[in-house]
Amino acid sequence: MSLFAVAVLTGIVTGTIHFIQESPTSPVIVRGEVKGLTKGLHGFHVHQSGDMTNGCTSMGSHYNPYGKNHGGPSDTERHVGDLGNIIAGADGIARVDITDDLLSLSGKYSILGRGLIVHADPDDLGRGGEHDSLTTGHAGARVGCGIILETTVKPSLEKRLMDTLAQIQKEKKMKKEKEAMSEKKPLDALDWASVIGI
């Protein structure tokens, strides 16, 4: 059964972020928009707590149940909550489209009830050499946050959502294959000669 969650971000920036997981062992798809950002990269993380009694500051550190160093989304050494950066355009809007294998909406390490935070500065993915690169990515102030809450959708809408997501995944796969093909250099005359044994 598909699982759904949503985080409504408030603060200096605002937005709505949806989380979709087709099954407990599937990746989590994170989609939505954040508005009111400065142009460029902004750190984007799941934090330990959904406590907003003191705004974004009471949400604690990055969600890190395995006790690892901070890193990028594709790194082996990373926090579960490390989602890298979102990119805002000149209009101040960041369109979020992330697929992550470590996040889960169920089980012992579920992110439900935890905080989602957008930062003022880029996440250096643990590579910046700053005093906090391996803990926070030196991503700066917390400019927007929300609690990740489970939600439900009507069966008809769920089917449409999953069909749309399947199409998106298919298009991404085709794009990667096309890019991989374009990177392959064509055989020149000498290469062809060696292939056919001349």
Residues annotated as catalytic are 45, 47, 62, 70, 79, 82, 119, 142
Distance, CA of 62 to chain centre = 13
Beta pairing, strands 142-147 & 149-151 = unpaired
DSSP-derived 3-state class of residue 36: coil
DSSP-derived 3-state class of residue 33: strand
8-state DSSP, 77: S
8-state DSSP, 70: P
User: Backbone phi, then psi, for 111, in 5-degree steps?
Assistant: -90, 0
Q: Among 59, 79, 80, which residue's Cα sits nearest to residue 70?
A: 79
Do residues 49 and 58 lie in contact, with contact meaning Cβ atoms separated by under 8 Å? yes
CA distances from 133 to 64, 65, 75, 86, 110 (A): 15, 18, 14, 18, 25
Q: Cα(first)–Cα(last) distance of the chain, in Å?
A: 59
d(CA 170, CA 197): 39
